[in-house]
Chains A and B, each alone.
Chain A
Amino acid sequence: DAKTTQPPSMDCAEGRAANLPCNHSTISGNEYVYWYRQIHSQGPQYIIHGLKNNETNEMASLIITEDRKSSTLILPHATLRDTAVYYCIVRVVRGAGSYQLTFGKGTKLSVIP
């Protein structure tokens, strides 16, 4: 199973872009990179996922390097409500098409006024 490495914490000024890095150097060719976040005491929330192309949705952008060994989640204009723990996850496929998400410790993003 591919493992991910994230910094334990980051700060970002309100209104600025938040760039959250993730290393996944052992990722295999058919594994996707997912990002979730968890706001204090709530269940995790899906943000975005990608395979090798950059992706963008209403919440964030995902930049994956050409060799797929690392990625960056970008929140373009961080707000106080974006303060949360952000998890970078490589999707594991097991058995008859079932899959699990392995959550590490993530990055605690603090958005500062």
Chain B
Amino acid sequence: DAGVIQSPRHEVTEMGQEVTLRCKPISGHNSLFWYRQTMMRGLELLIYFNNNVPIDDSGMPEDRFSAKMPNASFSTLKIQPSEPRDSAVYFCASRANPLTNTEAFFGQGTRLTVV
């Protein structure tokens, strides 16, 4: 199994531009999570999906952030317009079954730099 796959690994963009981060969860996993990691705030949950349905987006910082999961094998996190304070590493994680205590597997992350 290839694990959770995120793309791109690195993204540098100018302030005001739209940024789209992509995630392919592990096949068969029913839950998908988007986390943001910064030095100041550590690992923060932004949003999670169960069976492609957004369950809790209370961690999404602003309306500039949006996430979709059109099918079980793909999710996107979009920032429009991007700002320098959005610079962080964004991780996607997936988990097999939302009803059991199974571990969450993380992708390698996307390092976003907004200049």
A joins B in a complex: no
Which residues of B pack against A, CB within 8 Å? Answer: none
Which residues of A pack against B, CB within 8 Å? Answer: none
